[in-house]
Structure 1
Amino acid sequence: MLGQMMNMPLTTTSILQFAEKVYARSEIVSVTADNPLHRYTYADAFQRVRKLANALKKLGCEDGDVIGTLAWNDYRHLELYYAISCSGMVCHTVNPRLFPEQLQYIIDHAEDKFVFIDVMFVPLLEKLAPALPRVKGYIVLTDEAHMPTASTLPNLHCYETLIGKESTEFEWPTLDENQASALCYTSGTTGNPKGVLYSHRTTILHTYATAMPDVFGISVRDVVLPIVPMFHVNGWGLVYTCPMIGAKLVMPGPKMGDGETLCRLINEEKVTTSAGVPTVWLALLNYLDQNKLKVPTLKRVTTGGAACPQPIFDNFREKYGVEVHHAWGMTEMSPLGTYNTLKPHMLEWSEDEKTKVKLNQGRPAYGVEIKIVDDNNNELPWDGKSSGSVKVRGPWIIQRYFKAEADATDADGWFETGDVASMDPEGYMTITDRTKDVIKSGGEWISSIELENTAMLHPAVAEAAVIGVSHPKWTERPLLVVVPKAGSQPDKAELLQFFEGKVAKWWIPEACEFVTELPHTATGKISKKDLRTQFTDYLWPDA
């Protein structure tokens, strides 16, 4: 027997239409290259979205076309998200931080018909355009007063002029919920980047999950500052969650890593919650500390993309009364996989006990199945001790990469994430490493993440990374690479001694090297690949 309920398609158009009716007055505040503080409402935004949809149609864009964006977090990028997908096209967000060769490959592989770009990326696209014959034109996200005057880009348009005279009336097409809505490529640390093609259905299900109280827990009373870029895995879905809930959105534009701008936006707009990678939080905390400032309205922040050092948790809580929540996921997972909140019985624990739990990656959100397996694909118990490769499956997790011939999943439908982790009996996941970053010394595994977290507890360490380097006796040994805090001159031997009693003795790094900065990937993670290349010919001090 089948149920007898309405079968309404789950599409992003429904978010647009719902938010415009129910939350018309909710604000969107943006920093842009041509306006230090743009402000309008959801009603204003979705009126312009309809104008943009008309403009896309006049450009000759059709159902199923892929439209690229190279843009920061601001109101125009938000308009693109909805106008493109709700028109039946695919919104392809491109990460401008990637290498030019990767950008060329991605735009060509996706077959972008038009590309919308922020002003500052015009020179970059001018160099790439001759190798992008499929692209029919480029639209600069600005007004006429700020248009580049001598650009060599072919078929160049001004965004505001393009949509300016269009009608605010547009009849949204009825879409199949399984129709593709957005496309995002992985950062391509090995080989060419791979495309992940999301559908309307997966996006809506993911949006419901992110809004749950034990995930982002956003309400209409919240003011949300998404610092995670919209060009990376849908801005962690916040560009959908906030309109669905009606929360005020504050967008930092190109100032995502600027502590001063973030502090000003938080305090002037009364931001209550935010999300970003650990490097962003370090920048904000440093600015607050140096200028003796507070962020009284900020209550909680979400961190992901890389393991978050304990000092970030401690400083936010002790100095500013802000709770930090770990999240874990990946492009192939839309991206949500797990989120860390405490269970009721943990609230009575000491701060040290609670922090130990908060440092892990949290519990799976409903909709995400997780298992850990050994080298023979045998499932391991959730005992908090067994560690293995992480596999996932669920309704918003990839089945096949864009244009790939074979599924990305195994025969049983599980996707291998490339992470190594343990699961405890309470359902909390602790990632110990990426599969490719695990250090094998003398036949035993060492967690680089745990060593990095320990190093970050030292007061003279601003940033730390640990990599495995070839060793004549032990095959590999961990090398600690440190960026000292400004004004600090830590001693290498003292830093290595700091590990004693905190990790197993044989885990302690064999040596320490200082650098002025660590290499980062296009999504803000420490690039272990580049570090390993940098120290390929490293000679151990006692070798």
Structure 2
Amino acid sequence: MRSTMHTTHLRIRRILEHGARVHANSRIVTAGPGGARHEEVSYAETARNAARLANALRALGVGEGDPVATFMWNNQQHVEAYFAVPAMGAVVHPLNIRLPAEQLIHIACHAGDAYVIVDHSLVPSFLPLLPHLEAVRHVIVNGPADLAALREAAAGAEVHDYQALLDGAADTYDWPDLDERSAAAMCYTSGTTGRPKGVVYSHRSVYLHSVEACLPDAFALSREDMALAVVPQFHVLAWSLPYAAFLTGASLALPDRFLAAAPLAAFIAEARPTKGAGVPTIWGALLRHAEENPETDLSSLREIVAGGAAVPASMVRAYAHRHGIALLQAWGMTETSPLGSFYRPGGPHSRAGTPVTQGRFTPSVEARLVGADGQELPWDGQAVGELQVRGPWVTASYHGDDETHGGAFDDGWLRTGDVGRILDDGQLDLTDRLKDVIKSGGEWISSLALENHLAEHPAVVEACVVGVPDDTWGERPLACVVLGAEPVDAALLKTFLTERLEQRWQVPEYWSFLSSIPRNSTGKHDKQEIRERHRNAALTVITV
């Protein structure tokens, strides 16, 4: 028997058309200086601007399958590119503006970017890169900028004004009927374990990922919401929030370059978002700002989602008890589009004493735990192994490379490099990254567990733990700590940890107090940098 259902391809143009017609009056609000509203546009007008951009790009020579890079903050024009580029058959490629110049040049050249849309505020950062981007033929600048300086540095590339291009283009476009398996977008990994690797998302994968991101056990978006997208659009497509918003009618609040706690808090008070998404460092800074400035108005927010790094339980409690905001947690990677699992506390099936985890796997993501011997491990909350996943939005290879990348894949499964356990009710509890597990005297110590315990101390702003060489045990933990105003010494913190760990030998004897923890381009602790500083004796280390 054959199905009688209509064969309809899942395309990003359909998300755009649905948002423009069904949710025409939902809106995108972009922040300006000091957190004020800078721009506001409806979804219907966004769709017309996307058509104008597609017409302009086509006139410049953009064809099907061509990558179009963006070097932009989260703003209205970036969302227009999110839709216009893939809907016309090209591939949108958000460049991570926080990567080092050498990596950005490698990525843009590896992807073959010939067209780049750049925010005017980022032109000073983009100018030094441009002479090295030999494939770039057209640079489009969003906002007021010195185009003459860009043309001088462009070495033959044409430079255009974004708004001028749109003003001269039609506001309708004959969107092609693309195969849902064709490329729609691409992002590169952060490159913390070697060269950044390209992941290419299909129309099908983006569509399915966006649908599941809206589910009640995930972002739970509806047209009654306004979603604050603090997570950068160059971080795995802002976790699909722009696409999910157009599917559900939730409005979008975009902070542009105003990400410091004070302007972000002002923008929240002005735009009144109900939900938000960002990395833990953003939410930690906002929480500290609110505590230091009691007049801060976060009352519109009901839920915020953190991803990219583990969330300290103390932060979850602080948001809940002091502001009535549920801080949720999601797990994922560039390779998983990124949504892999989602944690929501409470509910009819929650158990007393259940720890804060990375949540349950989304319906379309298959997962397994694999031990050091290559055997699959049970979901019993006890066995610890490497997490492997597969699914319709999990990559099966990397762009332009036939290599295995050091065994990144195992018989069709993506090796995530994350270590943890899976509870018998399907919750993922990650304990570390494979490369960050501390191997001491033949036993494993979870750096993540030590960090979470240290974060519970009221004097600790943040903590990062790495393994350092030890003549006796092979490796021992080094705790790097950032303190607040309250004075505390290493001996007190060691006692604090000892009272919370079942195995006293896991407590660090090496301590370093820093003004800040170095971070990589995705906002995670740069443990490689800390190890390098220790290796070069560039850290002041106390032994207790």
Q: TM tier, shorter chain? A: over 0.9
Query: Which deviates more, 199-208 or 287-296?
Result: 287-296
Q: Secondary structure at the match of 1:385?
A: coil
The whole-number CA distance in structure 1 between the counterparts of 2:440 and 2:149 is 57
Answer whether contact 1:294 1:320 (CA < 8 A) is retained.
no
The whole-number CA distance in structure 2 between the counterparts of 1:381 and 1:176 is 39
The whole-number CA distance in structure 2 between the counterparts of 1:411 and 1:133 is 36
Answer whether contact 2:147 2:159 (CA < 8 A) is retained.
no
Amino acid in the other structure paired with 1:7 = T
Partner of 2:531: 532
Amino acid in the other structure paired with 1:308 = V
Amino acid in the other structure paired with 2:5 = M
Matched, 1:29 2:33: no
The whole-number CA distance in structure 2 between the counterparts of 1:326 and 1:265 is 23
Offset, 1:200: 0.1
Q: Secondary structure at the match of 1:283?
A: helix
Offset, 1:164: 1.0
Offset, 1:265: 2.2
Offset, 1:476: 0.6
Partner of 1:136: 137
Equivalent residue in structure 1 for 2:184, among 172, 176, 181: 181
The whole-number CA distance in structure 1 between the counterparts of 2:404 and 2:10 is 24
Q: Secondary structure at the match of 2:108?
A: helix
Distance 1:311 1:342, change over 3 A: closer
Offset, 1:125: 2.3
Query: Which deviates more, 103-112 or 130-139?
Result: 130-139
The whole-number CA distance in structure 2 between the counterparts of 1:46 and 1:425 is 45
Task: Give the TM-score normalised by the residue count of structure 1.
Answer: 0.95
Distance 1:123 1:368, change over 3 A: same
Partner of 1:209: 212
Matched, 1:234 2:237: yes
Partner of 1:383: 380
Offset, 1:127: 1.3
Amino acid in the other structure paired with 1:136 = R
Offset, 1:32: 5.1
Answer whether contact 1:49 1:79 (CA < 8 A) is retained.
yes
Offset, 1:132: 1.3
Partner of 1:244: 247
Amino acid in the other structure paired with 1:427 = G
Offset, 1:488: 2.8
Offset, 1:501: 2.2
The whole-number CA distance in structure 2 between the counterparts of 1:233 and 1:329 is 10
Matched, 1:496 2:490: no
Query: Which deviates more, 207-216 or 31-40?
Result: 31-40
Answer whether contact 2:184 2:201 (CA < 8 A) is retained.
yes
Partner of 1:268: 270
Offset, 1:342: 3.7
The whole-number CA distance in structure 2 between the counterparts of 1:500 and 1:199 is 49
Task: Give the TM-score normalised by the residue count of structure 2.
Answer: 0.95
- Residue identity over aligned pairs, in percent, reads 38
- Structure 2 runs not aligned, ≥5 long: none
Q: Secondary structure at the match of 1:325?
A: strand
The whole-number CA distance in structure 1 between the counterparts of 2:89 and 2:332 is 27
Answer whether contact 2:512 2:542 (CA < 8 A) is retained.
no
Partner of 1:316: 319
Question: How many pairs are equivalent?
Answer: 533
The whole-number CA distance in structure 2 between the counterparts of 1:172 and 1:160 is 21
The whole-number CA distance in structure 1 between the counterparts of 2:342 and 2:359 is 5
Offset, 1:410: 4.0
Partner of 2:334: 331
Alignment of 1:272-351 (within 5 A): 272-292=274-294, 293-342=296-345, 344-346=347-349, 349=352
Offset, 1:229: 0.3
Superposed CA offset, 1:172-204 (max 9, x none): 111000010001000111221100000000001
Answer whether contact 1:55 1:162 (CA < 8 A) is retained.
yes
Partner of 2:521: 522
Q: Secondary structure at the match of 1:150?
A: helix
Partner of 1:396: 393
Partner of 1:457: 456
Amino acid in the other structure paired with 2:106 = Y
The whole-number CA distance in structure 1 between the counterparts of 2:163 and 2:409 is 47
Distance 1:348 1:453, change over 3 A: closer
Answer whether contact 1:439 1:477 (CA < 8 A) is retained.
yes
The whole-number CA distance in structure 2 between the counterparts of 1:536 and 1:318 is 42
The whole-number CA distance in structure 2 between the counterparts of 1:452 and 1:516 is 16
Amino acid in the other structure paired with 1:432 = T
Partner of 2:468: 469
Superposed CA offset, 1:211-270 (max 9, x none): 1100111111011101100011000110110111000100000112x1122222222222
Amino acid in the other structure paired with 1:79 = E
Answer whether contact 1:479 1:510 (CA < 8 A) is retained.
yes
The whole-number CA distance in structure 2 between the counterparts of 1:98 and 1:56 is 26
Q: Secondary structure at the match of 1:91?
A: strand
The whole-number CA distance in structure 2 between the counterparts of 1:36 and 1:162 is 24
> What is the root-mean-square deviation of aligned Cα atoms in Å?
1.8
Distance 1:271 1:33, change over 3 A: closer
Partner of 1:11: 11
- Structure 1 runs not aligned, ≥5 long: none
